[in-house]
């Protein structure tokens, strides 16, 4: 286990280094000039040059990148050009909202997707199975803003059950989480259905049925745990995606997450924030996959980490 963790830590460092280099190069190639954005359209050339010098943007690309890496080694993600605040502070202020939405969204995906997947597998080739598959395909293809706006119209504007937007109470998280749950449940339903059908045809399941074990126990106790490995892997991916921020969902519900911060930074060409959000998102993806790998042996003891 220790050797495996050491190997994954080394891989994580190399991945983050590569992502930092690629992102830094791409941002350098963007035609927009952060100094011009900060100075404003009416600023003189001398003012723009002074701002560029103050931010260190007049130095060679390699010098800028090495300086940025030096800051990373000390846990410094830089300072926002526009907001004049440490990037780490800005990201940390958005983390509670992002983490709340991530946990609630994944819980909604699992509750809806796993339930529908199990029902479809047990009722294979029935009308209910076909209905679940059609619904899953529809939700996978649906635009995020459309689902979000429909939920807002029905449950907030019409029925008044939940607030229209904001963050701070359990009621605020229901509609954003339900939006993510509906959009992601289709993937989980299809994966669970496929793996459950395979597991239900295994010899040990048929043996349990022959011994007279109750059908519900066969499905929930014997089949479902062995069908969850692909689901665990998908959760690891979702952790990274949700930590990266869901700009559309956050925009519709006025959710103050990392996605909104990244979108504002892109509009302002605020390179330190863009870099910071990118690295935090990459780290979340790596850690999410690592967590999925560590959980897998507890679900299936046949798996060995090497």
Reported as a single tens digit per residue, the pLDDT across 102-115 is: 888 889 988 998 88
Residue 131 lies in a domain: yes
101: left (phi over 0), alpha (psi -120 to 50) or beta: alpha
Instruction: Give residue 195's pLDDT.
Output: 87
The whole domain housing 227 covers: 94-261
What per-residue string of b and e applies to 33-51 under the rule 16 or more CB within 10 Å gives b?
A: ebbbbbbeeeeeeeebeeb
Residue 247 lies in a domain: yes
186: CATH:
1.10.3720.10
Residue 289 lies in a domain: no
Instruction: Give residue 225's pLDDT.
Output: 78
Residue 66 lies in a domain: no
Residue 282 lies in a domain: no
Domain count, the chain: 1
Residue 295 lies in a domain: no
Residue 204 lies in a domain: yes
pTM over 0.85: no
Residue 171 lies in a domain: yes
Residue spans of the chain under pLDDT 50: none
| 34 close to 64: Cβ distance less than 8 angstroms | no
């Amino acid at each position: 286990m220790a050797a495996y963790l050491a190997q994954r830590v080394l891989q994580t460092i190399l991945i983050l280094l590569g992502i930092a280099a690629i992102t830094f190069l791409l941002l350098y190639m963007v035609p927009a000039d952060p100094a011009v954005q900060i100075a404003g359209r009416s600023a003189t050339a001398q003012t723009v040059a002074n701002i560029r010098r103050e931010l260190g943007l007049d130095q060679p690309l390699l010098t800028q990148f090495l300086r940025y890496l030096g800051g990373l080694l000390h846990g410094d993600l830089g300072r926002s050009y526009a907001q004049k605040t440490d990037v780490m502070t800005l990201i940390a202020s958005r983390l509670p909202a992002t983490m709340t939405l991530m946990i609630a969204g994944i819980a909604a995906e699992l509750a809806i997707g796993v339930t529908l997947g199990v029902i479809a597998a047990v009722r294979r080739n029935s009308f209910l199975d076909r209905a679940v598959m059609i619904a899953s395909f529809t939700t996978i293809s649906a635009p995020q803003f459309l689902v979000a706006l429909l939920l807002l119209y029905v449950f907030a504007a019409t029925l008044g059950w939940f607030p229209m937007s904001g963050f701070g109470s359990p009621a605020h998280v229901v509609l954003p989480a339900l939006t993510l749950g509906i959009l992601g449940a289709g993937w989980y339903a299809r994966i669970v259905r496929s793996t459950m059908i395979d597991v239900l045809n295994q010899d040990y399941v048929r043996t349990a049925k022959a011994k007279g074990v109750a059908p519900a126990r066969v499905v929930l106790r014997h089949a479902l745990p062995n069908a969850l490995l692909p689901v665990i892997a998908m959760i690891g991916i979702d952790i990274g995606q949700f930590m990266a921020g869901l700009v559309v969902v956050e925009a519709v519900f006025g959710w103050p997450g990392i996605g909104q911060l990244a979108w504002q930074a892109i509009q302002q060409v605020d390179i330190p924030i863009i870099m910071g959000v990118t690295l935090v998102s990459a780290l979340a993806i790596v850690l999410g996959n690592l967590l999925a790998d560590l959980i897998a042996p507890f679900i299936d003891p046949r798996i060995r980490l090497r």
